[in-house]
Amino acid sequence: MQKYLEKYLLPVAMLLGIVFHRPLSILSPVIPWLLALMLFITYCRVQWADIRLTRFHYILLAIQYGGSALVYLILRPFNQVLAQAAMICVLTATATSAPVVTGILGGSISATAAYSIVSNLSVAFIAPLFLSLVGESVQHISFAVTFWHILGSVMPILVVPFLLALLIRKGAPRIHQKIYSAQILSFYLWAVALTVVIGNITQYVKLQDDGNYTLEAVIAGTSLLICLTQFFLGRKIGRHFGRTVAGGQSLGQKNTVLAIWLTQTYLNPLATLGPGMYVLWQNLVNSWQIWKKKKGEEVSRQMKPPSKN
């Protein structure tokens, strides 16, 4: 039963979020708590010594910030809203759930966690600079307000669970060992959070519908292309450092909750469709990766010769 849940739970979660978007949209305040609990379980496998930045991380940061400026400059002559939507899909930080998926896929949790932390914190400084040049309402909001809002939303989710995991490792090793052995719980928590996020995005997109379906379709297609490109580039770069999975998840799996807040605050509301659709695309990619991995494990078990007694 568990193997089927692991393969099909994410697509089912997204479907439930779309179908029951109206009641689920009111549950959005619980998402940070779910992410924090999920990360606490995952971080129980990480030590401070594992969190260090390398050339691998600096290359990903260069793509995150250089790439966001590049896609904006390329698309700006065609349509301002499209350029904003594309830029935010690259600019926004790595998802706080990326280490969870990396662990499920057998990648380096510590490498992904390190990039997730630096990516989210650096956005607090970099995003206001980008958005001050392209935003429509940024002139009414100070850098300090933006900085503290992002920092205040990121720190409790990223840092507090990590510190708590380290304290339990040192002070309560038996409890830590039990949590260490129950990593699959983070996967189920992620599925619950995904259901609520998809419901929230679906409700928001419906409320923002202005009948401009051509532009909406172009934004959705561009979001898909950017999503696939970032996963591809991340895995390509990660392969050179022996971190294929970590590279793909670090660059491709985005903190779309943060992206949607930035877009709603500074950019054209229709541009929110970019990160909104990115939620769907990245989780379809993650669902396919997890399904493929579990399928491969099934085949390996079937091909394994029976043990001799």
Q: Write the pLDDT tens digit of every residue in 247-266.
A: 999 999 998 777 877 787 77
Can you give the residue ranges of every domain in the chain?
31-183+211-269
Pick among 1.10.150.530, 3.40.1160.10, 1.20.1530.20, 2.30.30.90: CATH of 31-183+211-269: 1.20.1530.20
Q: Is the model's pLDDT at 130 over the cut of 70? A: yes
pLDDT tens for 18-34 read 888 888 878 877 877 87
Other Cβ atoms closer than 10 A to 75: 19
Please state the rounded mean pLDDT for residues 64-91.
Answer: 93
Q: Please give the pLDDT value at position 183.
A: 64
3-state SS, the chain, equals: CHHHHHHHHHHHHHHHHHHCHHHHHCCHHHHHHHHHHHHHHHHCCCCHHHCCCCHHHHHHHHHHHHHHHHHHHHHCCCCHHHHHHHHHHHHCCECCCHHHHHHHCCCCHHHHHHHHHHHHHHHHHHHHHHHHHHCCCHHHCCHHHHHHHHHHHHHHHHHHHHHHHHHHHHHCHHHHHHHHCCCHHHHHHHHHHHHHHHHHHHHHHHHCCCCCHHHHHHHHHHHHHHHHHHHHHHHHHHHHCCCHHHHHHHHHCECHHHHHHHHHHHCCHHHHHHHHHHHHHHHHHHHHHHHHHHHHHHHHHHHCCCCCC
Other Cβ atoms closer than 10 A to 148: 12
Q: What integer best gives the mean pLDDT of the chain? A: 81
pLDDT band for position 246 (50/70/90)? very high
Q: Please give the pLDDT value at position 225.
A: 96
Q: Rounded to two decimals, what is the model's pTM?
A: 0.76
* Two tokens, residue 76: 């700006």
Q: Please give the pLDDT value at position 5.
A: 62
pLDDT band for position 230 (50/70/90)? very high
Give the list of residues 6+ apart from residue 49 with CB closer than 8 angstroms, or none: none
